[in-house]
A and B are shown apart, each in its own frame.
Chain A
Amino acid sequence: MPSVAMTTTTIRLQVEDFDAAGEAAAITRGRTDIGAVVTFAGICRDHEGGACVRAMTLEHYAGMAEAEIASHVEEAVRRWPLVGVTVIHRHGRLVPGDNIVLVVTAAVHRGDAFAAAEFLMDYLKTRAPFWKREETPAGSSWVSAKKTDDVAAARWTRGGRDAAE
Chain B
Amino acid sequence: MRILYFAWVRERVGRADEDIDPPRSVTTVLELMDWLAGRGEEYAHAFAGRGTIRAAIDHAHVKADAKIAGAREIAFFPPMTGG
Contact = CB atoms under 8 A, between A and B. Distances in A.
A58 B78 contact: no
Interface of B: 4, 6-8, 56, 59-61, 75, 77-83
Contact of A61 (B6, B8, B79, B81): B6
B80 A130 contact: yes
Contacts of B56: 61, 64, 129
B82 A130 contact: yes
B14 to A, nearest CB: 15
A21 B63 CA distance: 39
Given A61-B77, A64-B75, A129-B56, A101 B4 contact: no
Given A121-B83, A128-B82, A142-B81, 14 more contacts: A59-B7, A61-B4, A61-B75, A61-B77, A64-B56, A68-B59, A89-B83, A124-B83, A129-B56, A129-B82, A131-B80, A142-B78, A145-B80, A146-B81
A126 B6 CA distance: 15
A12 interface: no
A133 B59 CA distance: 22
